[in-house]
Every structure is written in structure tokens, then in C-alpha cells.
A and B are shown apart, each in its own frame.
Chain A
Amino acid sequence: MDDMRSRFDAEVLPHLDAAYRYARWLSRSPSDADDVVQEAMLRAFRGLNALHGSNVKAWLLTIVRNCHWTALKQMQRRGFVPLPDEHCAADGYAMISTAAGPEGAAIQRDAERTLDELIAALPLDQREVLHLREIEDMDYREIANMTEVPIGTVMSRLARARAALKVHWSVRCVGEQLVVP
């Protein structure tokens, strides 16, 4: 019991920030992300006995992912939120900015887009893979296992996400250095 707690503190808690970042990339609002992370950490604590591998971070992030989808489905069942379209495009993503422009926004607007908005415009499946690869430094196999798709799909999603950022960037950074929030 106490050893469970020390094990949790030593192995799981150091990944709390990663869990939070991931939840923020998945969730529609910061408070949703908070709830998802709390639920995930509790489940991780209860399920600590089932953890045998050494990749605690991937294990925890998978729990975060499951909690996110469970929460989303519950909210949809209660009619709080509309069903996302088939690609979950710009699913209320709100890391810092709240307003993601509508699809096909004017090119003029592109120049004013922040990095936040660039990412917000990505379909959820691409955004997720981009996050796991670039921010959490996970390899293709780990991402494939977590998101339950073949490695080839991970690669193509990653390529599309990166290409989308590049297209927007080239509009945004004409002759000037990129401004990062």
C-alpha cells in the first residue's frame, strides 16, 4: 500500500507533465484536460500492479488517451457536444487560442496565424501523432501501439501534419523569423 504509493511517486508522477500536455492537445478545453488527467492518474494508481514493462510514459499516455475518449463519448451521450465530423477536424482544440478559423479561411488570415492556430487546423489524428513524435519524442512503434494504427499510417499522418505546417509557415514567414508563442 505504502510501497504502491512510493512506486507511483517514483515511476508515474514524473510523467504528469507529459500526461497534461497530451490531454491539452486532445481536449476541447483546459478544464476538460484537467479532468482527463486526474482520472488517468487515478486509474494509473489503481492499475499500477498491471504495469510490468519499463515504458511507463507510453503506458500512462495510453491511459490518458482512453480517458479522453471515454469522457468525450459520455459528453456526447448526454448531448453536451455535437459529434465530431469523421476526421475530428479542429475538434475544439484550444491550447492557448480559442478560435480556430473555419476550413478554407482566407489566405490573408494565414499570415496572421499563430503556431497554435496552425496546429488547431490539423485533423485530430494528425495532431496527435505530431504531438507524440515531436513533443514527447516517442518512436513510430510506440505511437502505432498507442493510437492502434499500423506504422505506415503513423508515417503518413506525420508527413501530412508536417507538410500542412510547412505550407502555412511559408505563407507566414516570408522573409522574417518565425515567432513562437
Chain B
Amino acid sequence: MSCPESLQSQSYFDGEVDTTAVPNMERHLESCTECLGLFENLTRSRGALRLGYGNMRAPSALRSRILRAIDREIPAKAAWRVRSFWWGAVSGLGAAVAAIFVVFFVPLLASNQPIADDLVAAHMRSIQSARLIEVVSADRHTVKPWFAGHADVSPVVADFTSQGYTLVGGRVDNLDHQRAAVVVYRHGAHVINVFSWRADWRPMPAELSRRGYHMVSWRVGDLQYCAVSDAGRNEMAALTRLIRSIAS
């Protein structure tokens, strides 16, 4: 690089030049062909790098290995906390309390939302396997009747492409001993699975996060819906509103 401003041009490209210096940089770029060429190159290489590596995801096997390891951490931590609380007073009893806590309380917490765990597991399976969709269609008139023959419930099926949520198809997943209907949407790079099944007395929280995935749930009569995705909360809420605006 022979232009003495080339480092400054790079900073400008990276958005690191403070606002007072911006007019100077813009003037320089109008006259310096070298920096202009640099700019073009930086744009091209950033594009290629992001395209080549930006979408790399952690393998699913690694993700589950990590989550299992973290699950193992939790009882250990609980035991330690309870024990340290009681330790000064009655050390023997403290250990016993800890044991009781681990045996009774931890499983209770873990089983708080079994369906939520099943939903996330089903969502992850669908993303990781080729079995994301069983009936491929952007046409609700194809998906809806398909559910009639395959699932135990008949949910709302609609396409919202103009609002950014494209209907890509449907699937049936076993959930809570039923054949739950899953309507699959694509929103940008995200897949949103909308599960629906016959609800029982157990309430689903309206919003829940598990393992980095968001869940938004609602109920229509005795039909329980739950949208699961790694899309943002607001994006999922928007789809939820669209679905709820349509009467089945």
C-alpha cells in the first residue's frame, strides 16, 4: 500500500472512523483510486468470507453432548448450595437435606414442563434430519387435507409469504401420545415449526425458552398450539398473531 491513508480507509470501511472525520474520508475516496480499489476488495472478501463461513453451525451431536454435560452440572450445584447453607449449623443433617433435595426436588424441577422438552427435541430432530416436511407445499389447500388423513387434529394452515412467513409444508410428530400436526414455516434463515395437539389440563406457559429455542404457545378451544424456533421472540410473536387472526 502506498497511500498513507489506507489504514484510515480500512477503518472507514469497518465503521470505525468517528463522525467528524467522515467528510474527509469521503473526499479522499473520491480522488484516490487506490483506496477505492481497496474498498472494492474489502467488500468482495467480506462477502465471500461471510458466505463461506458465516453460516457454519455447531454439529447437533456436539450441541446435545454439551447440554447433557450441563444437565449433569445442575444437581451437583444444587447439592453444594444446600449443603453450604446448612453446613455451619448441623453438618450431618445438611448432607441429608442435600440428598433429599437432589432426590426429590431436582427431578420435580426437571419434569416441570415435559412437553416443552419434547417440543424442543422434536424441533431439533426436524431441523437436523431430512424429515423436516412430509407434505411439501406452499398451498394450504394441499396441507390441510393431508393432516385430516394423518394427524389427530386439524389446525389452522395458511401462507403468510407477503408478511415474511412462507408456508413450506406439514408433518406429523408423535407428541404426548398423539399424532400432533406440525405446520412448517420459513422466515428468512429460520424454520418455525408450529405444533398443534389435543390439549389436556396441563397449561403451557405463553412464552418459554429452552436450549436456545423460543416457544410461543396459545390455545384455541381444546387445541393447543406451540410455535418453536430459533427465530427472535418478536418475529415469532408476529407469526403467532397472523395465525390467530385466522379462524379455523
Please report A residues at the B interface, Cβ cutoff 8 Å. 1-2, 4-6, 8-10, 13-14, 16-17, 19-21, 24, 34, 37-38, 41-42, 45-46, 95, 115, 130-131, 133-135, 139-140, 155-156, 158-159, 162-163, 165-166, 169, 178, 180-181
Contact = CB atoms under 8 A, between A and B. Distances in A.
A42 B65 CA distance: 11
A108 B179 CA distance: 60
A162 B42 contact: yes
Interface string B9-30: 0110011100000000000000
Contacts of A162: 10, 41-42, 45
Given A19-B58, A133-B14, A156-B7, A5 B70 contact: yes
B58 A20 contact: yes
Interface stretch (B72-80, B161-169, B193-201, B239-247): B72-80
A57 to B, nearest CB: 13
State the majority secondary structure of interface residues on A.
helix
B57 A17 contact: yes
B66 A41 contact: yes
Task: Please tell me the size bucket of the interface on B.
Answer: 35 or more
B52 interface: yes
Contact of B48 (A14, A46, A115, A163): A115
Contacts of A42: 66, 69-70, 73
Nearest to B9: A159
Contacts of A4: 74, 77
B130 interface: no
Interface of B: 1, 6-7, 10-11, 14-16, 41-42, 44-46, 48-54, 56-59, 62-63, 65-66, 69-70, 73-74, 77-78, 81, 109, 209-212, 230
B74 A5 contact: yes
17 contacts: A1-B81, A1-B109, A2-B109, A6-B209, A13-B211, A16-B66, A19-B58, A20-B62, A38-B62, A41-B66, A95-B53, A135-B54, A140-B16, A155-B11, A158-B10, A158-B14, A166-B41
Contact of B77 (A1, A95, A155, A169): A1
Contacts of A159: 1, 6-7, 10
